[in-house]
Amino acid sequence: MNEFTAACVQLRSGKNVADNIELCSDLIRQAAAAGARFIQTPEMTNVLVRSRDELLERITFEDDDPTLLHLGKLAKDLGVWIQIGSLAVRFGDKVANRGFLLSPEGGVAARYSKIHMFDVDLPNGESWRESATYEPGTKTVITDLPWARLGLAICYDVRFPAIFREQARQGVEVLTAPAAFTRQTGEAHWHVLQRARAIENGAYVISAAQGGRHEDGRETYGHSLIVDPWGVVVGELDHDEPGFVTAVIKPEETRKARQRIPAIANERTFSVEIVRQVQEAMN
């Protein structure tokens, strides 16, 4: 049997890295005690700070990042796989929003830098320009767990289906989109986006989330989700408080879903034809 129990750890990361590590570690230990062998944390696990200058004061380069070092040791102590949804780490004169997969030996098995930058102006007046602080990644990342093939993505990436489709074409059975979704966009789109990526690719989607009001004033939606390949929510924290949720992942369900609806196999290439309507002048 290649079934395994996965967990989403939901956080409310603040400005103090040490405090965030403590809460995250406690919830990871609880999830492991509940039987989880794969545990995912949300985007910006180490710190949430909106000010670019303040963020740069609080973070380090990857090799010295205390959250990465601590959770590597914790993965080894617990004998589990930990997917750090992402950390803010220094990258030249900018910042990388980078996720990590840690093996039960404590090492980094894979890393992924968020490709799509959240540069938006929301109707409630919120304005975000991630590209002013973060250096975007340029490649999608796929790796193998002992039980299934895993695809890495982060937050805003979930609105760009091509990433997930390409991962599915490469045999990925478990897609991921750990996030710090704003409350406004989360209330409108969080569930439907997660379920859509699962349904159209016939794959599990695991997405741990940040939730609640943070020290820097932002509000995130929470509602960490695990969705099965048929689009059914099999695990959810139905609130924005810190905690964890588990679900059993059955990779065989991916094969079944792709047999029922062979959308990947049925894909065809196509060209685009634009037909312009010309209005005749009336004389």
Indicate which CATH number applies to the domain containing 161.
3.60.110.10
The structure's pTM equals 0.94
Percent of the chain clearing pLDDT 70 (strictly above)? 96
Please indicate, yes or no, if residue 278 is contained in any of the structural domains.
no
Q: Kindly name the residue from 8, 15, 24, 155 that is annotated as catalytic.
A: 155
Please indicate, yes or no, if residue 247 is contained in any of the structural domains.
yes
Burial (CB count <10 Å: 0-12, 13-18, 19+), residue 283: exposed
Please indicate, yes or no, if residue 265 is contained in any of the structural domains.
no
Sign, CA dihedral 129-132-133-137, equals positive
Please indicate, yes or no, if residue 272 is contained in any of the structural domains.
no
Please indicate, yes or no, if residue 188 is contained in any of the structural domains.
yes
**43 an active-site residue?**
yes
Please indicate, yes or no, if residue 106 is contained in any of the structural domains.
yes
| Total domains, the chain | 1
Q: CB–CB of 187/163 below 8 Å?
A: no
pLDDT of the residue at 34:
98
Lowest mean per-residue pLDDT among 67-71, 200-204, 273-277:
273-277
Q: Kindly name the residue from 8, 15, 24, 114 that is annotated as catalytic.
A: 114
Q: What is the residue whose two structure tokens read 């102006």?
A: 121
Boundaries of domain holding 254: 4-260
Burial (CB count <10 Å: 0-12, 13-18, 19+), residue 174: buried
Please indicate, yes or no, if residue 145 is contained in any of the structural domains.
yes
Please indicate, yes or no, if residue 97 is contained in any of the structural domains.
yes
Rounded to the nearest 5 percent, the helix, strand and coil shares of the chain are 30, 30, 40
Q: Kindly name the residue from 8, 15, 24, 43 that is annotated as catalytic.
A: 43
Buried b / exposed e along 233-246 (16+ C-beta atoms within 10 A): bbbbbeebebbbbb
pLDDT of the residue at 283:
54
Instruction: Report the run of H or E that residue 135 belongs to, with start and end.
Output: none
The two tokens of residue 61 are: 């380069």
Sign, CA dihedral 27-29-32-33, equals negative
* Residues contacting 245, CB < 8 A, separation 6+: 7, 8, 10, 224, 226, 235, 236, 237
pLDDT, one tens digit per residue, over 234-266 is 999 999 999 999 999 999 999 999 999 999 999
- Rounded to an integer, what distance in angstroms lies between the CA atom of residue 179 and that of residue 154? 6
The two tokens of residue 166 are: 């390409």
The two tokens of residue 138 are: 């340029």
Rg (CA), the chain: 20
* Residues contacting 63, CB < 8 A, separation 6+: none
Helices (H), the chain: 17-33, 52-58, 66-78, 161-169, 183-201, 252-260
- Rounded to an integer, what distance in angstroms lies between the CA atom of residue 272 and that of residue 161? 19
pLDDT of the residue at 133:
87
Average pLDDT over residues 121-127: 72
**114 an active-site residue?**
yes
